[in-house]
A and B are shown apart, each in its own frame.
Chain A
Amino acid sequence: DIQMTQSPSSLSASVGDTVTIACRASQGIGRSLAWYQQQPGKPPKLLIYDASTLQSGAPSRFSGYGSGTDFTLIISSLQPEDIATYYCQKHNSPPWTFGQGTKVEIK
């Protein structure tokens, strides 16, 4: 099975900073990569799919890119409400594995 590995596990940044989170697949998955945001105490929300397509309703400060095995989520101009854990997920075929998560905190 394909494993999904995120880095870093956690990060601390200031409001207004640009934040980048990486996700690596153990084998190529084309562009079938999604990102989810889970704010504390809430269920996850779909942010991005197909590596770079913004889900309806997601703020435009979120963007993604990548293909094959290496993917990146970018939060430009970090806002207080972006405090959350972010997960990548391969969405092309089963098992639809998640990464282990990246916790984003405000400095």
Chain B
Amino acid sequence: VQLLESGGGLLQPGGSLTLSCSGFGFTFGHYAMTWVRQAPGKGLEWVSTISHSAAETWHSDSVRGRFSISRDNSRNTVFLHMSSLRVDDSAVYYCAKDSPHTQYTSGLLLEYWGQGTQVTVSS
């Protein structure tokens, strides 16, 4: 299993950015996918999750209304669309795959993680 994130960068407050994560080595369309972020020197923060079929999405309170998550199972890719970015959105953004143990349930176990992509929001 491999997860490869891309799309990070440096941008100004109020800007928009889309992150991508491609999955390899598993049946992508069978698993929920999640974005977790980690600000410099801080802990892990769950951001957004999308169900295997894209029928359901969930967002943390800190990003709801500004971020959206989508996926293209034909391309084995999940996206995080970020808008109205703030300085406190600066973080490494990790993409993670759900575990078979919580597959098709309301549970979420993050079995595999990508290496992360850096997003820096600064004026």
Which residues of A approach B to under 8 Å, CB–CB?
1, 32, 34, 36, 38, 43-46, 49-50, 55, 85, 87, 89, 91-101
Contact = CB atoms under 8 A, between A and B. Distances in A.
A46 B108 contact: no
B115 A87 contact: no
B99 interface: yes
Given A38-B44, A44-B36, 17 more contacts: A43-B94, A43-B116, A44-B44, A44-B94, A49-B99, A87-B44, A89-B46, A93-B106, A94-B49, A95-B46, A95-B61, A96-B108, A98-B43, A98-B44, A98-B45, A99-B43, A101-B43
Contacts of A44: 36, 44, 94, 110, 113
A85 B38 CA distance: 13
Given A46-B99, A98-B44, A98-B46, A92 B107 contact: yes
Interface string B96-116: 000101100011111101111
A94 B106 contact: yes
Contacts, number: 61
Contacts of B115: 43
Nearest to A32: B107
B49 A96 contact: yes
Nearest to B44: A98
19 contacts: A32-B107, A38-B44, A44-B36, A45-B113, A49-B99, A49-B101, A87-B43, A91-B108, A91-B109, A92-B106, A95-B46, A96-B34, A96-B46, A96-B108, A97-B46, A98-B44, A98-B45, A98-B46, A99-B43
